[in-house]
Structure 1
Amino acid sequence: MSSLADDPAEHFLVVVNEEGRHSLWPQLTTPPSGWTPVHGPDDRAGCLAYIEEHWTDLRPLGLLSRLAEPGGPRGNARPS
């Protein structure tokens, strides 16, 4: 069984959640609650190009705001 996401002719939306995470979503379906369309409909390549250009920092926005706080965790710290 194939899905809509496997069809090269399918058009998609780029959706973003409150943490700034991006996702590709088939145009013919409703994005889940908490995800907002920001680009499309467009073909898969166009949506992926949008994501590559706009989602340049994969860290969640909540983490980025904590890193920016005075006395917050160090931005380059890695979990041990």
Structure 2
Amino acid sequence: MRSDIAYQVLVNDEGQYSLWPAHQPVPAGWVADGKTGTLDECSAHVDEVWTDMRPKSLRDAMA
């Protein structure tokens, strides 16, 4: 990943996060969570909000 371009944070239906170049269309199965910025800013946001790495389907099954 390049650090000189803007990124956005994406999330899928399983609650998994990804960093994606902001100038690229969002791939099928993913939605933007609203955070855009530098690679470091987006990475820090993911670290803050993605506290449970288990897929949502597994979390639901274990509840």
TM range (shorter): over 0.9
Moved over 6 A (4+): none
- Measured after TM superposition, the shift of residue 40 of structure 1 is 2.8
2:28 is aligned with 1:33: yes
- How far residue 9 of structure 1 moved from its aligned partner, in angstroms, is 1.4
Count of equivalent residues:
63
**Other-structure match for 1:24:** 19
The TM-score normalised by the length of structure 1 is: 0.74
User: 2:9 aligned to 8, 11, 14, which one?
Assistant: 14
Identity of paired residues, percent?
Answer: 35
> For 2:45, what is the secondary structure of its paired residue?
helix
Any gaps of 5 or more consecutive residues in structure 2? none
Q: Which amino acid aligns with 1:32?
A: P
Q: Which amino acid aligns with 2:30?
A: W
What are the equivalent positions in structure 2 for 1:1-80 lying under 5 Å apart?
Answer: 5-6=1-2, 8-68=3-63
Greater relative contact order (Cα < 8 A, sep 6+):
2
